[in-house]
């Protein structure tokens, strides 16, 4: 790692664009997404379903189907061009330098191998150690993520574990090779409320203990507030607001972010009315020419429908894509 890379952000994404070839033609799922993540930082990606969060994560890990997806822009991890990686270098990157926790562990863990086997296999593959050493590492990781009776759980198959335990095993697998970047794609969605809280607290504890950077995808604003140092709000395949989590979630500047917060149930809302965002998210195959949120925006003016707003810097280390930014921030 060069001195220059070590001093810069861990992850730097510039103008990341993903287009899918479909029966309806070419669909732009991500449109010039730019993100930056410092070492040891947690970035929350929030937005409605279809906003581009999961596509962003898969593009970062280079697991989009190459025959269907056209990816452009730049992804740099510690100064290394991720989109240029091939063969063994790409294989080493996935799981070694960057790893992912998926939304549903039952679909991500192999049902025909034990949990211990799957973790040990990853360690042997990426670290080149003996099976005995890898097996010890698997036990260490299950203990780290607080799986009860970890030694006996090594020989459990995924179906022999509860949903919460499977998710902990998935986290253990993702962290087993000490990645610098962890991508968590709505890892608590399939869990009940109590287990969700346990997993969120566990991830935050592990992040602080291991010093890794995390991108945490969620549609739950409360989860984003609990997990994140910074947040990026996505809509229609674009980033429309970014900044420190405390500032963005307390005083949103973009009308869409404001709408998300107003339509979210949280403590202390007894007797208050929930204000839903009207309309539906945009069709990515038929995007409007101006602001994608304009058809649903309560503050829309004619200019919003004519040109696409770009992210503009504001005070408090924030960026917002809204042509009415000066009025909104006032």
The C-alpha angle with vertex 156 and arms to 154 and 159, in degrees rounded to 5, equals 145
Task: Write down the domain spans for the chain.
Answer: 3-329
The 10 Å CB-count burial string (b at 16+, else e) for 107-143 is ebbeeeebbbbbbbbbbbebeeeeeeebbebbbebbe
Cβ atoms 92, 180 nearer than 8 A:
no
| Alpha helices per DSSP H over the chain | 3-7, 53-60, 87-92, 105-108, 115-127, 131-144, 150-153, 163-175, 193-210, 221-227, 245-250, 255-262, 325-329
Span 110-120, average pLDDT: 96
Q: For the domain 3-329, what is the CATH superfamily, name and number? A: P-loop containing nucleotide triphosphate hydrolases (3.40.50.300)
pLDDT at 168 over 80: yes
Tens digit of each residue's pLDDT (9 = 90 or more) over 223-243? 888 889 999 999 999 999 999
The per-residue pLDDT for 64 is 95
Mean pLDDT of the chain: 90
The per-residue pLDDT for 262 is 85
Q: What is the CA radius of gyration of the chain?
A: 21
Threshold 0.85, pTM exceeds: yes
Tens digit of each residue's pLDDT (9 = 90 or more) over 62-81? 999 989 999 999 999 999 99
Span 133-145, average pLDDT: 95
Query: What is the C-alpha separation between 39 and 7, in angstroms, rounded?
Result: 10
């Amino acid at each position: 790692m060069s001195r220059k890379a070590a001093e810069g952000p861990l992850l730097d994404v510039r103008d990341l664009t993903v287009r899918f070839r479909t029966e309806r033609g070419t669909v732009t799922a991500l449109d010039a997404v730019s993100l930056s993540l410092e070492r040891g930082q947690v970035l929350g990606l929030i937005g409605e379903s279809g906003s581009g969060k999961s596509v962003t994560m898969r593009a970062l890990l280079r697991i989009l189907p190459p025959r269907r997806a056209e990816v452009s822009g730049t992804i740099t991890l510690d100064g290394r061009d991720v989109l240029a990686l091939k063969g063994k270098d790409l294989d080493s990157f996935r799981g070694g330098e960057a790893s992912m926790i998926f939304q549903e562990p039952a679909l991500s863990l192999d049902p025909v191998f034990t949990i211990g086997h799957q973790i040990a296999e990853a360690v042997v593959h990426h670290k080149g150690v003996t099976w005995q050493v890898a097996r010890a590492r698997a036990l260490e990781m299950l203990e780290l993520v607080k799986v009860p009776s970890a030694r006996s759980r090594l020989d459990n198959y995924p179906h022999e574990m509860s949903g919460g335990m499977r998710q902990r095993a998935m986290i253990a697998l993702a962290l087993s090779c000490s990645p610098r970047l962890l991508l968590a794609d709505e890892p608590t969605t399939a869990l009940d409320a109590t287990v969700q809280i346990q997993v969120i607290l566990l991830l935050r504890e592990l992040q602080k203990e291991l010093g890794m950077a995390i991108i945490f995808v969620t549609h739950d604003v409360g989860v984003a507030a609990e997990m994140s140092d910074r947040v990026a709000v996505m809509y229609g395949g674009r980033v429309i607001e970014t900044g420190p989590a405390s500032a963005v979630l307390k005083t949103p500047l973009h009308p869409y972010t404001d709408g998300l917060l107003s339509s979210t149930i949280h403590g202390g809302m007894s007797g208050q009315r929930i204000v839903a965002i009207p309309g539906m998210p945009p069709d990515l195959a038929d995007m409007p020419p101006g602001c994608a949120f304009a058809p649903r925006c309560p503050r829309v003016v004619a200019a919003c429908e004519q040109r696409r707003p770009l992210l503009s810097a504001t005070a408090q280390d924030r960026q917002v894509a809204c042509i009415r930014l000066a009025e909104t921030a006032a």
